[in-house]
Structure 1
Amino acid sequence: MPPATTPSTDPAPSRLSRPTRVAEAIKDWIVQAHFGAGDRLPSEPELIERFGMSKGTIREAMRILEAQGLVKSRTGPGGGTFVHEVSKERARALLGNYFYFKDLTIRDIYQLRRVLEPELAAALAGNLPEAVLGRLEAIIGEYDAPAQDVEEEREQHVASLRFHALLAEQADNALLGFLIDFMVNMLSDLTVYRKLYEPPNLELWRRGRAFQLQLVEALRTGDADTARRVMRDHMETAQKLMEAQEAEMQRRFISE
């Protein structure tokens, strides 16, 4: 194995606590030493010797890494500390915590969706198996008629965003897929807790569903240019209509 990386003495890292710097050094070493998910890390005494730190510092560093989801401890026979692959759900939750107090708007989210999702659609055209296309159509089938009440309206909004989350899962580019999935989930959460599904919006239902049906057809036939154009129009229309929903809810809040 290559030698352990010692905590950096650069000015910026030095402002971090010692356990945090050691946690970063351990993380770098795990990568350099080519540990994989599920591999057991050396024992605590070995880590103390390798990094030249006290037991307390090493333990706190490992707690930091465990909180980040990068290692996992198990007790009992066969126990120890193991490299752990961070799940998409956990990464999404951690990143979501960062934006929790940022007061994101519909415009903020769609600024990125309008750039990324048309390119994803073009890349997927002609490359999706019929099973995935069938799942996309099944999602559209969940809102084949306008909502009859507020609860159904909320469910339809969430379902329509699952359509885009499913597309994100198919991306060959893991970063692109994660970013789109993250934005879709942020929009879903924002829609629910700000009640942007009130009041029911027939135009949003009608046009959104029509765009998605056109998109599935372009994906099935392998028409990348049409897939890109339809998704771009879908994002632009959705932004305009969702911003109107957002403004309406703000007016209601002020009037109340």
Structure 2
Amino acid sequence: MSDVERGRTTRRSRPVRVAEAIKDWVVEKGLMPGDRLPGEAEMIAHFGMSKGTIREAMRLLQAQGLVVTKTGPGGGSFVGEVSTDRARALLANYFYFRNVSIDDIYQLRVALEPEVAAALAGKLDAEQLARLEAIMADYAHPAADAEEERAQHIASLRFHACLAEFSDNALLSFFIGFMARILTDLTVYKKLYSQPNEELWKRGRAYQLKLIAALRAGDAEAARGIMRDHMLMARRMMEDQEAVVMKRFIAE
């Protein structure tokens, strides 16, 4: 351990150090979400800390979502699992201070989503393809007004988040879903269309229909190209609407 690391460890409060030690212990024991943790008395004996320190450490872990406490018969402390929604909300709130732009988001979407599409070509079962088609049913017809057009855009983002969920790559799935949530919850348009843009609806839907066909046929190169063109078109649409990311926190 370096002098800097040793200094950081020394500066940490006892509850923080114990919370980190508990996390290390969970990893060493190979515990999974839902597994029971030792009782308070055992924790005190194992870590050699006071009751107050152990309780504060457990509260810190509960706040992180890593420990769940249940009362009543069969109650106690259990290994928790941070939900995807919570993780994305926390990450979005982190980026609140980083001035993320729409262009930043689409730079990643253009890079990542075509690769997910290519990787999934020929690997989706009938039920998964049906889920994608069911989402598309929410925008089967052109929007009647700007409000419906916005709702259809959000439904289209669900299509992309759902497709990412099918990926075996947990990181790709998480970050594509994260970007979809930012675009859903934090995007505003300075230049809304006074009338729905039917041509834009038609083109966007056509890309997704072609993508499903390529996925079903197992054509990875076609899926990659279709998704890339779709993302580039979406980026241009955002530029035309002068979309910006709002400065506010989002709920978990």
TM-score (norm 1): 0.86
- My pick for the range that moved more, 235-244 or 116-125, is 235-244
The size of the alignment, in residue pairs, is 241
> For 2:91, which of 88, 95, 100 is the aligned residue?
95
SS of residue paired to 2:99: coil
**Structure 2: how far apart are the matches of 1:159 and 1:96?**
20
**Structure 2: how far apart are the matches of 1:183 and 1:248?**
13
AA of the residue aligned to 1:76: G
Deviation at 1:202, TM superposition (A): 3.9
> For 2:106, which of 103, 110, 126 is the aligned residue?
110
Match of 1:5 in 2: none
Deviation at 1:13, TM superposition (A): 4.1
Aligned pairs for 1:12-51 (under 5 A) are 12-51=8-47
**Structure 1: how far apart are the matches of 2:154 and 2:183?**
9
Deviation at 1:138, TM superposition (A): 2.3
* 8 Å Cα contact 2:34-2:78 kept in structure 1: yes
Match of 1:214 in 2: 210
Aligned pairs for 1:149-228 (under 5 A) are 149-191=145-187, 194-195=188-189, 198-199=192-193, 200-228=196-224
> For 1:82, which of 78, 81, 96 is the aligned residue?
78
> For 2:241, which of 235, 241, 245 is the aligned residue?
245
Deviation at 1:249, TM superposition (A): 11
Deviation at 1:231, TM superposition (A): 0.6
**Structure 2: how far apart are the matches of 1:237 and 1:149?**
21
Overall identity of the aligned pairs, in %: 63
Match of 2:118 in 1: 122
- My pick for the range that moved more, 174-183 or 101-110, is 101-110
Deviation at 1:203, TM superposition (A): 4.3
AA of the residue aligned to 1:138: A
Q: For structure 1, list consecutive stretches of 5 or more residues without a partner in the other structure.
A: 1-7, 251-256
**Structure 2: how far apart are the matches of 1:10 and 1:249?**
40
SS of residue paired to 1:142: helix
Match of 1:254 in 2: none
**Structure 2: how far apart are the matches of 1:41 and 1:77?**
15
**Structure 1: how far apart are the matches of 2:15 and 2:244?**
48
AA of the residue aligned to 2:213: E
AA of the residue aligned to 2:91: L
* 8 Å Cα contact 1:73-1:82 kept in structure 2: yes
Root-mean-square deviation over aligned CA pairs: 2.3
Deviation at 1:17, TM superposition (A): 3.4
**Structure 2: how far apart are the matches of 1:81 and 1:105?**
41
Match of 2:249 in 1: none
Deviation at 1:75, TM superposition (A): 1.2
AA of the residue aligned to 2:29: A
* 8 Å Cα contact 1:40-1:81 kept in structure 2: yes
**Structure 1: how far apart are the matches of 2:190 and 2:53?**
47
Q: Which has the higher contact order (CA 8 A, sep 6+)?
A: 2
**Structure 2: how far apart are the matches of 1:219 and 1:121?**
7
SS of residue paired to 1:100: helix
SS of residue paired to 1:225: helix
Deviation at 1:127, TM superposition (A): 0.6
Deviation at 1:9, TM superposition (A): 5.9
AA of the residue aligned to 2:192: E
For residues 23-43 of structure 1, the C-alpha deviation after alignment (integer angstroms, 9 at most, x for no partner) is 122111111111122111111
Match of 2:130 in 1: 134
Match of 1:253 in 2: none
SS of residue paired to 2:32: coil
SS of residue paired to 1:127: coil
